[in-house]
Amino acid sequence: MSEDEGRMGPRFLIDTNILVYFSEGILPSSGLPFVKKVFKESFNISVISAIEFLGWHGFSDEQYEEASDFIRGANVLNIDEDVVTVAINIRRHVKSNSPTLLSPRPVWPAIIPC
């Protein structure tokens, strides 16, 4: 167990899909309690996820403000070798025909312990 885990519990890196599914209310009910707990206790995203999520053109002004408030609660990780490695591992192990992180995927691979 890392020092951070001992203080805060496990930390997780949240994929853009989880942000989208959660904000749209379309997460599978089986994953919702876990995701809510992660958001409450250890909310980490990459700067790429912040850009993808907040850069969505479909937000109204009010929705954008709500999404921005939500993201302000996250620990936003800058791009470094560790984040790149996690992103590569996600893409290598989750079949997707889309080059973006917004393609539909199951909940389980999109929340990565970090």
Write out the H or E segment, with its range, that includes residue 113.
Answer: strand 111-113
Return d(Cα 74, Cα 51) in angstroms, integer.
13
Q: What's the CATH code of the domain at 42? A: 3.40.50
State pTM to two decimals.
Answer: 0.66
- Asked if residue 114 lies in contact with residue 12, where contact means CB atoms within 8 angstroms, the answer is yes
Per residue in 19-63, pLDDT (tens digit) is: 998 998 998 888 899 899 989 887 899 898 999 999 988 899 999
- Asked if residue 16 lies in contact with residue 99, where contact means CB atoms within 8 angstroms, the answer is no
Question: What is the predicted pLDDT for the residue at 11?
Answer: 78
Confirm whether 88 is domain-assigned.
Answer: yes
pLDDT band for position 112 (cuts 50, 70, 90) = low
Confirm whether 109 is domain-assigned.
Answer: yes
Confirm whether 5 is domain-assigned.
Answer: no
Question: What is the predicted pLDDT for the residue at 113?
Answer: 64
* Residue-number span of the structural domain to which 58 is assigned: 12-113
Which candidate, 26, 24, 16, 22, places its Cα nearest to that of 112?
16
Q: How many domains does the chain have?
A: 1
Name residue 77's amino acid.
L
Query: What does the DSSP assignment read for 76-95?
Result: EEPP-HHHHHHHHHHHHHS-
